[in-house]
Structure 1
Amino acid sequence: MTAGGAPHRTGLVDVAAEASEIVAELVAHPGGRSSPSVYETGRLVSLAPRLAGHARRVRFLLAAQRPDGGWGLPDDGYALVPTLSATEALLSVLVPLHAGPGSVAGVPEVPPGVPRAELLKAVDEALRLVSERLLPAFGTQAPGGGAGVPDMPAIEHITPYLVELINRRLAALRVRPPSGLESWQEAEPLRPPAGMAGELLPMIRELLDRSAPVPVKLLHALEVAGGSAVAARSVRPEPSGTVGASPAATAAWLGDGGSGGGSGLGRANAAVRGSARRYLEATVARFGGPVPVAAPITEFERGWVLSWLARAGVPVTVPAWLLEEMSASLGSSGTGGGSGLPPDADSSSGILYALSLLGRPHPPDLLWNYETPTHMCTWQGENGRSITTNAHVLEAFGHYAESTRRGGPRHDATLAKVAGWLCDQQDVDGAWRDRWHASPYYATACVTPALTRFGGAAAGGGTARAVERAVRWVLDTQQPDGSWGRWDGTPEETAYALHVLLLGPPLAPEARPAVARGAGFLRSAIAAQKIGLSAPVMVKDNNLPLWHDKDTYYPITIVRAATLAALHLAQISPAFT
């Protein structure tokens, strides 16, 4: 199946050849490709020290530490979860725990090749940051999108879980502090931020202890249940071996240091334990130790990659069997991002839109499972709301109706409802911001093309006004080197800005220099480093991990597709005529 026309060249980039490579990546890596996660890697250091790659995981955490002692993006809100995870993980290498929830028996040993002095220095700096600045900074804030705290999945459970574990390590320090950490022997217990006291953690653990099921969406963060997660009878790994598409959750369920020899009343049978262990070993093998925050992300990646390319008209040939697998993934409630994740409106919309763009339209009616009185939720019971989920729903319904002419009154009502809601959510500066990405350029690049093509006259003509404001915001925020970015300019965010300019209303003559400068920045970035084909992405690189999960991450193939699509649009735009 082919979308687009003849191949084009954009500077140093052969668009058709790059598109073929991207599709080949989808085929060669069906589980998806994303950067290693500080949070998730830290959990494996603590939960599974006997799993292959332990020393490399410790070295990864040491290398990723910021000069101020923390981890994560250059914002304290984004530093909270990765810093707590890395701090507890490095403490686990130095400080043994007595038996208890989430602990690993035995005296820890500094792994070979890890300098003890460097490890002690990293822990001291991290504890100082956490106790003196990081946690106190959020003492009056609310979780889940409150001021200064990003709206990250399960942050209200993960934060108190990590504080609890660090406090247990600090308590152990009072008994027998390692040489070099004596100054922390009398440290006071850390206090979690207001609104993150962990009231639900005992309830989750109690449910698991009596073999009662927990909400499916909590499986992705099963590690917060501590010792109650080990071989929990009400939790069954997927056939692939994963629990909740999460290495940390799988390691927590497997227990016993990740060796698969869990004990207790909830002991799983050997075959299931072996499957979970093989999943962890395969996930670890990707980077030789560090792990991503979610694996697999099959449907999520396929939907985003192919819709980015096809929407921009990039010449792309997709194997028929791949399209058939995408269609088959859509059950009565749609699909999740990958095996182990529950169905959601966002992943489902991405698959539906990609299929429709590639000539395999599938009715989007299943998305009505996620309808609320005002908008579409990502899943029922969602805490918060997602701008980009609704933009993707708008595209799924809009393109299906446009390509098949099989819409109807309810389809039309859904389009009007979602478009009107999106217009109402625009920020005063003209951008949109969303819970699934740290950068407003991503959300604005999702909404602007959707409203431009499928928004109609939502909100009494509000669509055109909203789009115009978004375009003006993008033009006003370009950096001197031609890039765009929330912090520093990045190739990813620059690609999103170009999507706004080139998939919105007709390009105004005064906007053409901005497009040319942005495309030049992207061409230079690709010439220096082929996007998505580099070593594990770190914050120190120019590819920030901006996507939201338990930690921020960088979906390599998805961003590569978005970048290629932006270059293709720029090359065929009036800016280059």
Structure 2
Amino acid sequence: MSILAAVGDLLGEMTATPTGQSSVSVYETGRLVSLSPWLTLHAARIRYLLDAEHPTGGWGGPGGYGLAPTLSATEGLLAALRRGDLAGTSDPLHRGAVAAVDRGLAVLGERLAAVPASALPDMPAIDLIVPALVEALTVHLDAMRDDPVNGLERWRTAPRLPLPPGMTPTRLARVRAALTSGHPLPEKLMHALEVAGPAARRAAGVVPVGPGTVGASPAATAAWLGVPDATTSAARAYLEGVVRQHGGPVPCTSPISVFERSWVLSALSRAGVPLSAPPPVLASLRDALGPAGTATAPGLPVDADTTSVTLYALARAGQPVDPSSLRSFDTGEHFCTWPKEDGASITTNAHVLDAVGWHLRHGGARADHLAPVVRRLTTWLAERQAPEGSWSSDRWHASPYYATSCAVLALYGYGVGASVGPVVRRAVRWVLAGQHPDGSWGRWGGTAEETSYALQVLLAAGQTSSDQCAQAIARGWRWLVTMDGSDGGPALWHDKDLYRPSLIVRAAALAVTWWGRASAGPDPVEAGPSSRSAMIRIA
């Protein structure tokens, strides 16, 4: 199948799945096992947690990325055991859950004490999630002193789990107190409403929106819902729809249609892929943009990241919208993802530079307003490049290749001033140095997604006149198109758990496959047994 046919299939699939496609989450699924045993496919969620456990115990990604999923899965399975959800000691699910909880508690005892709060990845609400789940597990273990679970007797008198060094429950206590007293919570906290515990249930001022979701999160919706009744049909229908779509387990966020559609279209169009975006998709993006911007999903606050990528996607599709909605995110130095954000995001500011730079270059808005923004963002991004050439830390993705690609594409495409050239050259050198012997790139091993981002840097920077760069592009491109999806589809995007937006990842690989085909040398179809059909299965 040709690249363009594969792109057509992807766009068709995106149109046919209006809620978007995302990998399921151990963290979010564990919360549903704990909070909603009445929900359809409860046993399927338990099986998923047992199947997703690592052989040595624990769940989730490497290092600190495994903390929230391991806490959630362990607590969810222990809650199911204590409720008697599983048939009995002879039931395989019961035996598996007992063994998994035993291993999970052991892993948590080691990790919680060993990993300081400052070393944990910058995941949404992690400073609320960890104290909430440590507290929930403590409640279970205290109750087991009088009501033990067969097979877990050793935990009746074991030391209770600590918080990571440097982490306190203070902020969690403030959130719960505000909710109990009826004070409105910031909209961004709705995505993790489950941390509030019993105070979340039908909390005053919290109303499901859109398709019936609270915070675009199955877990937050389940925490608000409790046991459904006639007044909560929309929230129940939302949860039933999400679990049926994914066969039991659930993603951290649903729907993700605005996010998915804008990222897919911007990646393909930037690479020069000749495509005709489906009119309903473009209409949905235009409808999502309001005077304040757009959100990733109903129930989440509007944010500069989704707003800027949506503006960029529409502009490249020939339907530009004035970028004035971004002004409310301008701090005077950089652009916040949302007002009162803690910290700042490299990729959000790179995406704002894309959107503003496009409109400045094409006369889509007043140059006297946009030109200073472009200069300021160019300087801000350049000053945050690491000495070795990468942008190594961003709050929305685990891989420095994503942040580096976003920064280079924005700077090389729309940055101004003498700093752009040296900054881009340092990034190119860093990418070249990080290529694995097989031609791939990746933080924890070669992946199709990260190889796509690395190739974007090399191709966008126009370095193909360099023999070293040309050889790296050829090796990376050939590795990418012959992978046939066998990289295992690792999750690298930040939410409450690591996740993989599958169509976005697939679009990145298809885009760079198209972009690099003229620079990569002989097609691997001619050099070996691989089939060009691999291109549709890269992600």
Shift in Å, 1:211: 2.7
Q: Which residue of 2 aligns with 1:137?
A: 114
Matched pairs, number: 520
CA contact (8 A) 2:261 2:281 kept: no
Q: Which residue of 1 aligns with 2:25?
A: 37
Q: Which residue of 1 aligns with 2:512?
A: 566
Shift in Å, 1:113: 6.8
Q: Which residue of 1 aligns with 2:470?
A: 512
Give the unaligned 5+ runs of structure 2: 524-539
Task: Tell me which amino acid in the other structure corresponds to 2:207.
Answer: R
Task: Tell me which amino acid in the other structure corresponds to 1:453.
Answer: G
Shift in Å, 1:114: 4.3
Q: Which residue of 2 aligns with 1:474?
A: 431
Please tell me whether residue 502 in structure 1 is matched to residue 459 in structure 2: yes
State the distance in 2 between where 1:481 and 1:37 align.
Answer: 30
State the distance in 2 between where 1:232 and 1:87 align.
Answer: 26
Q: Which residue of 2 aligns with 1:117?
A: 95
Deviations 1:422-470 (A, max 9, x none): 001111221112110000011111111110011111xxx2211111011
Please tell me whether residue 218 in structure 1 is matched to residue 183 in structure 2: no
Q: Which residue of 2 aligns with 1:325?
A: 284
Of 384, 392, 400, the residue aligned with 1:440 is: 400
Q: Which residue of 2 aligns with 1:181?
A: 152
Please tell me whether residue 158 in structure 1 is matched to residue 129 in structure 2: yes
Task: Tell me which amino acid in the other structure corresponds to 1:236.
Answer: V
Deviations 1:523-560 (A, max 9, x none): 1123x56xxxxxxxxxxx62211000111100011001
Q: Which residue of 1 aligns with 2:46?
A: 58
Deviations 1:492-551 (A, max 9, x none): 11111111111123322321111111111111123x56xxxxxxxxxxx62211000111
Please tell me whether residue 67 in structure 1 is matched to residue 25 in structure 2: no
Deviations 1:331-371 (A, max 9, x none): 11100001111100000011000011111111112111101
Task: Tell me which amino acid in the other structure corresponds to 1:136.
Answer: A
Please tell me whether residue 295 in structure 1 is matched to residue 295 in structure 2: no
State the distance in 1 between where 2:521 and 2:382 align.
Answer: 28
Shift in Å, 1:575: 4.6
Shift in Å, 1:276: 0.3
- Worse-matched range after superposition: 196-205 or 332-341: 196-205
Q: Which residue of 2 aligns with 1:102?
A: none
State the distance in 2 between where 1:447 and 1:575 align.
Answer: 27
Q: Relative to 1, partners in 2 of residues 1:188 and 1:82: Cα closer, same or farther, differing over 3 Å?
A: same
Shift in Å, 1:574: 6.3
Q: Relative to 1, partners in 2 of residues 1:113 and 1:303: Cα closer, same or farther, differing over 3 Å?
A: farther
Q: Which residues in structure 2 correspond to 1:103-502 (within 5 Å)?
A: 107-110=84-87, 114-131=92-109, 133-138=110-115, 141-142=116-117, 146=118, 148-256=119-227, 260-261=228-229, 270-271=230-231, 273-404=232-363, 406-432=365-391, 433-457=393-417, 461-502=418-459
Please tell me whether residue 92 in structure 1 is matched to residue 50 in structure 2: no
- Worse-matched range after superposition: 33-42 or 319-328: 319-328
Shift in Å, 1:564: 0.3
State the distance in 1 between where 2:299 and 2:2 align.
Answer: 37
Please tell me whether residue 545 in structure 1 is matched to residue 491 in structure 2: yes
SS in structure 2 at match of 1:95: helix
State the distance in 2 between where 1:435 and 1:110 align.
Answer: 42
CA contact (8 A) 1:95 1:172 kept: no
Give the unaligned 5+ runs of structure 1: 1-12, 97-106, 262-269, 530-540
CA contact (8 A) 1:157 1:196 kept: no
Shift in Å, 1:204: 2.0
Q: Relative to 1, partners in 2 of residues 1:41 and 1:113: Cα closer, same or farther, differing over 3 Å?
A: farther
State the distance in 2 between where 1:566 and 1:356 align.
Answer: 20
CA contact (8 A) 1:452 1:505 kept: no
State the distance in 2 between where 1:340 and 1:110 align.
Answer: 37
State the distance in 2 between where 1:278 and 1:466 align.
Answer: 50
Shift in Å, 1:202: 2.7
SS in structure 2 at match of 1:340: coil
State the distance in 1 between where 2:520 and 2:421 align.
Answer: 21
State the distance in 1 between where 2:284 and 2:53 align.
Answer: 40
Task: Tell me which amino acid in the other structure corresponds to 1:548.
Answer: H
Task: Tell me which amino acid in the other structure corresponds to 1:68.
Answer: T
**So what's the TM-score if we normalise by structure 1?**
0.87
Q: Which residue of 2 aligns with 1:555?
A: 501
CA contact (8 A) 1:512 1:575 kept: no
CA contact (8 A) 1:15 1:568 kept: yes
Of 2, 11, 36, the residue aligned with 1:23 is: 11
Shift in Å, 1:404: 3.0
SS in structure 2 at match of 1:252: helix
Task: Tell me which amino acid in the other structure corresponds to 1:77.
Answer: G
Task: Tell me which amino acid in the other structure corresponds to 2:161.
Answer: L
Shift in Å, 1:67: 2.2
State the distance in 2 between where 1:86 and 1:562 align.
Answer: 31
Task: Tell me which amino acid in the other structure corresponds to 1:92.
Answer: A
State the distance in 2 between where 1:110 and 1:384 align.
Answer: 48
CA contact (8 A) 1:19 1:315 kept: no
Task: Tell me which amino acid in the other structure corresponds to 1:370.
Answer: F
Q: CA RMSD in A?
A: 1.6
CA contact (8 A) 1:45 1:58 kept: yes
State the distance in 2 between where 1:154 and 1:178 align.
Answer: 31
Q: Which residue of 2 aligns with 1:78?
A: 65
State the distance in 1 between where 2:456 and 2:197 align.
Answer: 43
Q: Which residue of 2 aligns with 1:535?
A: none
Deviations 1:291-332 (A, max 9, x none): 001001111111100000000011221122321221121111
State the distance in 2 between where 1:455 and 1:51 align.
Answer: 51
State the distance in 2 between where 1:21 and 1:542 align.
Answer: 21
Task: Tell me which amino acid in the other structure corresponds to 1:520.
Answer: R
Deviations 1:97-128 (A, max 9, x none): xxxxxxxxxx4435997432222211111111
CA contact (8 A) 2:31 2:219 kept: yes
Shift in Å, 1:196: 2.7
State the distance in 2 between where 1:391 and 1:110 align.
Answer: 53
State the distance in 1 between where 2:475 and 2:366 align.
Answer: 41
CA contact (8 A) 2:308 2:352 kept: yes
CA contact (8 A) 1:55 1:113 kept: no
Deviations 1:68-111 (A, max 9, x none): 211111x2211111111111111112124xxxxxxxxxx44359
CA contact (8 A) 1:545 1:553 kept: yes
Task: Tell me which amino acid in the other structure corresponds to 1:127.
Answer: L
